[in-house]
Amino acid sequence: MHVSRRGLLLGGAGLGLIGVGLASCGPQDGGSTANAEGGAGGSVTGPAAPPETGAAPPAPVARIRYDVASDEGQAMLKLYASAVAAMMARPEGDPLNWSFQWYSDWVRGELDASGKTSEMARIYGNIPSAARTLAQKMWDGCQAHGPNEDEDFFLPWHRMYVFAFENIIRAVSGDAAFTLPYWDYTDASEFAIPPQFRLANDPVWGSLYRSARNPGVNAGQPISDADTLNLAILSETSYSSNGGDAGFCAGLDNGLHGAVHVSVGDATNGMGVVPWAANDPLFWLHHCNIDRIWATWNAAGHANPSDPAFLGKPFPFADPNGAEIDYVVSNFLDTATAGYGYDVLAGGVASPQAAQTVPQSAAEVKRAAPSAPTLAPAPSPQIVQGAPPAPPPAAPMATRSLQRTVIPPPPKAAPVVTHATEDVALGPAGIRVQLTQAAAAPYSP
């Protein structure tokens, strides 16, 4: 197979090997649905434009996203699990169906357009419909995971993608107060995936389980350690690549972002390979945290690109009614403009949005947050595929307040992840490789 786009491994070089990338979240204004989400079939540009320099401070944001390990995050996670199950039960081809949203990142199957072509034919045939038209526009939309794509769109595209997905979760769950929790894997207490994602066939949490994860991950072993799961990228000062400096956007994409993908999912039909990544419900919490890291970088005073071609770029998504909605990059460069914020920024930095947000009611947020499930002790770490032994398993995650262990970033260095089976080093430098056709993986959403 000639890899023209999402080649294996979401790991480096923009998910690398082929100059790929992934990322995170986006706006949500549940109260002003007509403005932020558009009417049926409508095409809008997204949230209101950012305030001018020197304008009054922005109004309190509508919603806050929480650490999945907090009480509030646990409450949101329970809503999320229920909504994922409901989306998986919707008819194929429905824009609110789980696979439709997954395919908006990249369609399962081959790493070129043939996967999209075959799935379009299988699901829709040749019968015209609004959903078919939207799928044709949206699917394989991930930026920037292929040739002739601008890496600088990695962060804003994923912010829009997660934002639109979050609005759909609200619609499916029936809870307008829902916000997507983030998984803060740079906190030492969260090096393992949240326990709710490891409970196959559980009546509450089973929808979050995927078997296509690396050995030990579903047993609660840490996915990596502080040498990889750190915030060194925040020391970057430029958003875009400049000479030998990858810049913040590509450095985050090809470093921490890709390392988490490859560390969690296998490279057959899991998070470690682009066409399957968004099938894992953990994908969305991961990208929410990537968005939070971008917000932290901006809060430190670092600037995003300002050229018209970047600011004016539109991307299509599905609104909560399944109709097309077009978002423009300029309206998604600031989380407050998009109507949301984070409980705390990366590394324990205070969140300006959280400080000025109108608190959501107890009925909306503290809805009997479930305790973390009790799991059997994780087995002893095993050496897998010649990789070094994993560190000792972290203690099972319990619900907690917003106190966190902050790991100071090490001296700036480009993170590099090596995936043993492919023997490809993933790092900030773009890599292009030729891959041979692998046997098609069975479809198991």
For 394-418, letters b (16+ CB in 10 Å) and e give beebebeebebeebebeeeeebbbe
The count of residues in the chain is 445
Determine the Cα angle at 9 with ends 5 and 10, to 5°: 80
Q: Which alpha helices (H) appear in 90-204, and where do they start and end? A: 98-105, 113-124, 130-138, 154-173
Distance between CA atoms of residues 186 and 332, nearest Å:
24
d(CA 112, CA 354): 42
Q: β-strands 340-342, 63-65: how paired?
A: parallel
Per-residue pLDDT of the chain (445 residues; tens, 9 = 90+): 333 333 334 333 333 322 333 333 333 333 333 333 333 333 334 454 333 333 344 445 679 999 999 999 999 999 999 999 999 999 999 999 999 999 999 999 776 667 899 999 999 999 999 999 999 999 999 998 766 789 999 999 999 999 999 999 999 999 999 999 999 999 999 999 999 999 999 999 999 999 999 999 999 999 999 999 999 999 999 999 998 899 999 999 999 999 999 999 998 999 999 999 999 999 999 999 999 999 999 999 999 999 999 999 999 999 999 999 999 999 999 999 999 999 999 999 988 877 665 444 434 444 334 444 544 444 433 333 333 344 444 433 333 333 343 334 444 443 333 333 333 333 334 433 333 333 333 323 3
Sign for the pseudo-dihedral over CA of 126, 130, 133, 139: negative
The tokens describing 229, both together, are: 């799961």
CA distance 328 to 379: 47
CA dihedral 262, 266, 268, 274 (to 10 degrees): -30
CATH superfamily of 33-426: Di-copper center containing domain from catechol oxidase (1.10.1280.10)
State pTM to two decimals: 0.73
Indicate the pairing of strand 340-342 with strand 314-318: unpaired
For 57, the enclosing helix (H) or strand (E) is none
CB 167 within 8 A of CB 319: yes
Collect all residues with Cβ–Cβ distance below 8 Å to 290 and sequence separation of at least 6.
22, 23, 24, 25, 155, 158, 252, 256, 257
Distance CA 57, CA 178 (A): 25
Among residues 259, 79, 89, 102, the alpha carbon closest in space to that of 178 is found at 79
Return the domain boundaries, the chain.
33-426
230 in Cβ contact with 409 (< 8 Å): yes
417 is written with which tokens? Answer: 């992840």
Instruction: Check if the beta carbon of residue 25 is closer than 8 Å to that of residue 164.
Output: no
H/E stretch holding 341 reads strand 340-342
